[in-house]
Amino acid sequence: MAFPLASVVLSGHGEWHDHYMDATGVKCCGRRDCAQAVGRLLDRQGDQVQVEVQGIPLWLPQGSVHASEDGAFWICRKRPPEEKAALTAEQVRCVFFATGG
């Protein structure tokens, strides 16, 4: 099921994201590391979930993928993105996907 959403918008802090953890037990969001993005769920295999973020398919641990509380797709990075660096699964702490249609 696809859940395409709005373009990237930076968030000052996690707000509702704050109580979520990634697969290793680290909080999903810190200051200025969560952003809305165009994304969708693609597949699940075992304890891995494939998501597409800004057109890039990534496999993430199931514990790092959560349902969004505000109906938007969000990505939380481990550190701010480098301008020219391609997005990789290693850079992603959590994603929050939109539910419903």
pLDDT digits (tens, 9 = 90+) for 35-94: 899 999 999 999 999 999 999 999 999 999 999 998 899 999 887 667 667 889 999 999
Query: Cβ distance 44 to 63 under 8 Å?
Result: no
Count of domains observed in the chain: 1
Q: Where are the beta strands (DSSP E) in 11-78?
A: 34-36, 39-45, 48-53, 56-61, 65-67, 74-77
Rounded Cα–Cα distance for residues 91 and 76 (Å): 9
Residue 3 lies in a domain: no
Domain of 59 in residue numbering reads as 9-97
Residue 56 lies in a domain: yes
Task: Give the pTM.
Answer: 0.78
DSSP label of 13: S
Tokens 């969004």 correspond to: 68
Residue 2 lies in a domain: no
